[in-house]
Amino acid sequence: MEISTFELLVKPIAPRILGNPAITAVARRVVQGYFLTISNLDSKDLTFRLEFVQSNPNPVDPDRSLLNNADLIFDIAGANNPITLTALPANRFRGSFRLPAGQTASVQLLPRLTPPLLAAAEPDLEVRGYVSLTLPALRRPTPPFSLFTEPQSDAPVKVLLNPEVRGTFLPNNFPTATNGDFDQINYPLAIASGKGLNEIVPEPGGPIIIRPIDLDLLEPVRRGLLESRFAEADNLEKSQTLVELMAQLDRSPENLQGLSDLLSKLDIPVQVMPA
């Protein structure tokens, strides 16, 4: 479901006019981020996925993109935890997090405040777009392992959502001095559904996509080089290795035979046969 718009800023709140100290004094820099409070009302732990679709200018401007300019973090009742923000085609960025049953988390998309950005007299970071929330299908984490992803729930799950903008105004002499006039803003954003209580429809399961690879990637299997590496691996590590390989494998007879050899070396009693 679509949640709301978002906007990240690190820039002066108004244009500065040279030679006009009164305007310069009030044209402070604002650092603004996106905050989403989310409650999992379901009876089981769930993995949620956030997707940020940014608006890109023409021509391309690196100060108008989340790429290398933003961090995604979340916390439930303790320390902040980083979430990997993955760039995807079509101006999209994605991150996933696991939320225990009955718990509430704060998920934050924040500008990356590097020393050069803080020291800049006229920073111009400005990124906006919209945010979507999904409940993705997942691979089975424990045996019996499957080549299919599975929905996390048989029915829509209920969540409470509260998107906000929060920002801080920095004095013009910051970070050289730290005793200036700091102010903060905080206001809610309109939710696309028009309500705080929402239902997320689980994504359906499906087969893991198989992509063709070069047969040379199977050469370490044929030569037995993987055997020593995974002699002490547990079932989870073996399954992760298997899934990573199968996600790249073209289903030719040669590749399937190589995969069967790998399964044998990993002590997995499965033979892969062509259809």
Find which of 79-88, 113-122, 147-156 is predicted with most confidence, using mean pLDDT: 79-88
For the chain, the residue count is 275
In a domain, 273, yes or no: no
- Last residue of some domain: 200, 233, 248? 200
Q: Locate 169 and state its tokens.
A: 């105004």
Question: Shortest CA distance to 195 belongs to which of 233, 236, 146, 158?
Answer: 158
In a domain, 18, yes or no: yes
Q: How far is CA 28 from CA 75, 177, 183, in A?
A: 29, 14, 10
**Where do the H-state alpha helices sit in 52-148?**
115-119
Say what the pTM is: 0.72
Range of the domain at 241: 209-265
- Last residue of some domain: 153, 179, 200? 200
- Last residue of some domain: 150, 179, 200? 200
In a domain, 66, yes or no: yes
Query: Tell me, what amino acid is at 161?
Result: L
In a domain, 183, yes or no: yes
Query: Tell me, what amino acid is at 188?
Result: P
In a domain, 16, yes or no: yes
243 and 225 in one domain? yes
How many domains in the chain?
2
Instruction: Give the tens place of pLDDT for each residue, 176-212.
Output: 666 766 788 899 999 999 999 999 999 998 776 655 5
DSSP 3-state of 139: strand
Indicate if the pLDDT at residue 90 is higher than 90. Answer: no
DSSP 3-state of 8: strand
218 and 161 in one domain? no
